[in-house]
Amino acid sequence: MKFDKKLLRLYIVTDRAWLNGADLGSQVEESILNGATLVQLREKVLDSISFQSEAERIKTVCHKHGVPLIVNDNVDIALAADADGVHVGQRDMAAGDVRRKLGPDKILGVSAQTVEQAVAAQQAGADYLGVGAVFSTSTKLDAAEVGMDTLKAICAAVSIPVVAIGGIGPGTMGQLAGSGIAGVAVVSAVFAQPDIGAATRKLRALSDMIVKEDGI
């Protein structure tokens, strides 16, 4: 699937902790139907066979609605499931090695917390950057907080699009106006909510407003 920065407008990241007996595929579809533009499958507890099976299942849901599926961290699973791409952090496989393994046609996202990391990721072939945690977050307790000044500096330093992540929800999104981001990535702001559809619609409207103000 061809990458376009508009795919970053509302980027949802799955979290099995919020399932509470629900089906992940149904939750993902509900979010897509209400405005999610890209899905990242993050799995920390499944074995490789189960992870690949889940990736293939969620990909079917995503592609049914023309939305790409990105796999978190695991390049081999992304390739085996023929996902649309992979997202890696600074402690995962180096971005240049990931790009060589993926080839030129898959989407590569890289996490960055500094301008130096951002520039290096772009040079290594990243299609987009995930920058955060912009605000404090309970979803990823080991995530270092990245201030607004750094977020703006990263957006200004690279030509590839940037998505903000970490502690983002209706109460914090307004602070991102003017930063230069192409969209926001959320976890609990969607999956921990009692009404996933309503939560997604609200977040999409706010993200559209922020990005439009930036002229992106």
pTM to 2 decimal places: 0.95
Q: How far apart are CA 153 and CA 193, in angstroms?
A: 32
CA distances from 161 to 28, 60, 122, 153 (A): 24, 26, 10, 13
Q: What is the mean pLDDT of the chain?
A: 94
Q: Write out pLDDT tens, residues 180-211.
A: 999 999 999 999 999 999 999 999 999 999 99
Q: Which residues are catalytic?
A: 42, 111, 140
Lowest mean pLDDT among 76-90, 126-140, 190-204: 126-140
